[in-house]
Structure 1
Amino acid sequence: MLVRKLRTRSLSISEARLVLRGFEREGVRLDSAQIDDVLDEFGRRGYLDDGVLAEQLITAGVERKGQGRVALSRALAQRGISRDVIDSALSELPDDDEARALEFARTKATSLARLEHDTALRRLMGQLARRGYNGSVAMSAAKTALAEVTRGRPSSGVRFVESD
């Protein structure tokens, strides 16, 4: 049963434990010791490794989804990966949340440029926050990206000009 699950996607040790707890054959379930033995054997053979899984999930989160540290940490915790493994895997990640947030913000800013500045800023910050970027990083990236998009365009609204 566990091998079938592992063929479709990688599992954390915690997820594998849940799979084994649900295993039943002829009305008999595995006890805790048997589950631990199976998990140890799968780990020894390299089928279960939370450290490797964390690295894979971080790579996918950064490259495909543009996620920040908060979102990555939350995703790993939801998969049942321990805090020390999460911290270790995130420590390997370059400290470039600002650059990744700005890159993501630039891709979204063009479609938001037609909106009022405050509305565009609020929406872009929301998108960045949902991807796990903290408030100051999201604000900075959103302001920079929107400024780049609107640079050179006439601003909307009323302008007051001093006259002599």
Structure 2
Amino acid sequence: MARSSIDLDLSGPERELKRLGAALRKAEDGKELRRELVRNIRSAAGPARQEARQAIKSMPSRTPHKGRSLRSAIAQKVRIEARPAGKSVGARIVVGTTESVRGFKDAPRRTNARKWRHPRFGNRQKWADQTGKPGWFDDTMKNNRRKFRRAVVKAMDETADKIARLVR
């Protein structure tokens, strides 16, 4: 698994978002309205993303390392994806991979688990157990799901109202 993500269930509003995307393509200034919709969805998801970033940054660290900390690298990889058109219509918060930090590609997924094993300093003869912060991402997203969904639907409604005003 390359990245961790929580999809926002927009089963009902997803159809509306698809119709809204089609209306945006037809509208005269559709590109600007589409940008505004994506901007509003991103700002709606901002608090949930910030909470996830704070949750991973609060994970305790026992060993000092030179260079960038794993926690801050993971926090930086938490991002918002908003797609008002196409095959994967919707909004979600995603955590990308972190290959650049000490070669630890699956860091977001592993730290979201209770513990994981890895070779000590690349030595496959000696393994180390490491403790994560279970639920730093999953629990944060579950706690924010309703607020996020309401805010996304509100952003969609505002854009739909603007399109309706343009048509009149």
Larger radius of gyration: 1
So what's the TM-score if we normalise by structure 1?
Answer: 0.25
So what's the TM-score if we normalise by structure 2?
Answer: 0.25
Relative contact order (alpha carbons < 8 A, sep ≥ 6): 1 or 2 greater? 2
Indicate the structure with greater helix content.
1
